[in-house]
Amino acid sequence: MSTGRLDLNLVRVFVAIYETRSVTLAADRLDLTQPTVSHSLARLRTAYGDRLFVRSGQGLLPTGRCEQLFEQLRESLSIIDASLDEQQVFDPALSSRRFRLAMSDIGALYFAPPLLRRFQQVAPRLQMEVVQHNESVLEELATGRLDVAIGNLPGLAASTRSELLFRERYACLLSADHPAITRQAMTLPEFAAARHIMVASPSSGHGLVDGILAQLGISRNVVARVPQFTVLPQLLAQSDLVVVLPSRVAQLYAAQGGLRALPLPVEIPEFDVRMHWHARQDGVPSSRWLRNELVITLSAL
C-alpha cells in the first residue's frame, strides 16, 4: 500500500466505523455526512485491497484483515491525538469534543444528570457518551477510547491514575410495605432471614459485601440475581425482597416513592468512589479540564 493513499482523517473514519459498526453512526460521531464516510470507506478498501467490513444483520462486521489493522491504527491514532492535544489550548466554551466515560448503570443514573447540567452551563457544545464498565476498560483507557472510568473499581488501581470523588457506605433498600420488616431499623435476624436480590456486577467492588458478611458468620438468603441496578425499584416495590446497595442511590430510589432505605444492621466498611484515567492523559489540557469538572461536580453529591 502506498502511504500517500492514507491520511489521518481516513484513520479516524476507519476507527469510528469499527467501533460503531455503522457508516451512519460513524458519520454522527465524526460530524460528517454519510456520503463522506462512505467515500472514505471506499478509499480505505482501495488502499488496503480488502473489503474491511461486510454487511450483516448486526451491522458492518470486520474482516480478518480489518481486525489486524484496527489494533495498529487505533493505537497510532491515540498517540497522535494525545500529542496534538498537548499542544492545544482547550476552551470548553467553544469545544465540541466528545468525552467517553465508563460507569455502571447505577453510576449513570446518579452521575449523568448533574454532569450534563454542569456541561450545559460551562461547555454547552461538548458531548458526553456514557458506556458500561466491561472487561476492556483498562485497555480502552490506555488506548484513549475512554477518557475516564468512574466507580468502585479496585481492579484498576494498580494500572491507572485515580482521584477520590467521595466515600460511600452500603444501605438496604426494600418496599415501603414490606410484610415482615416494618420498623425504621432492621435487626440482624431480620436481615439474615430476608429474601435478598443481588446485582451481579463483576467489574465493581460491590461483590466484597458477601465476603465481609461471611467473615462475620452471616449468610444472605439470595433468591435472585440481576445484571443491573436500574431494575431494582420495579422488583422491590411490591415484593418482600431486600437489596444491599450504595446509600446515595438507595436514598434516590426511596425519594421516588414506594421504597424505604434502611441502615445495614451490621458494620460494613465504607468504600471509595474514584475516577480513573491513564497516565498518558496527565498532560492533555482537555483531559485535565474534564477531571477537574468531575471533581467539582461529583464530590459535592
> Cα 278 to chain center, whole Å?
15
Task: For 25-35, give one letter per residue: b (16+ CB within 10 A) or e.
Answer: bbbebbebeee
Its pTM stands at 0.72
**Does residue 142 carry a pLDDT above 90?**
no
Share of the chain above pLDDT 70, in %: 94
**Sheet hosting strand 271-277, strand order edge to edge:** 127-131, 98-102, 148-151, 271-277, 161-168
Residue 134's φ and ψ, nearest 5 degrees, are -150, -175
Q: Across the chain, what does the average pLDDT equal?
A: 89
Residue range 238-242: mean pLDDT, rounded: 94
C-alpha cell at 202: 463483576
161, 277 contact by CB (below 8 A): yes
> Cα 220 to chain center, whole Å?
28
Please report the domains of the chain, with CATH numbers, ordered by start residue: 3-87 (1.10.10.10), 98-166+272-298 (3.40.190.10), 170-269 (3.40.190.10)
Residue with the bigger pLDDT between 5 and 41: it is: 41
Rg for the chain, CA atoms, rounded: 23
- Alpha helices of the chain — where are they, by DSSP H? 8-20, 23-30, 34-48, 64-87, 105-122, 137-143, 188-193, 208-215, 232-237, 247-255, 285-298
C-alpha cell at 240: 418482600
152, 162 contact by CB (below 8 A): no
> Which of helix, strand or coil describes residue 255?
helix
**Does residue 259 carry a pLDDT above 90?**
yes
Length of the chain: 301
**Does residue 57 carry a pLDDT above 80?**
yes
H-helix or E-strand containing 133? Answer: none
Of the listed ranges 104-113, 125-134, 165-174, 209-218, the least confidently predicted one is: 209-218
**Does residue 284 carry a pLDDT above 90?**
no
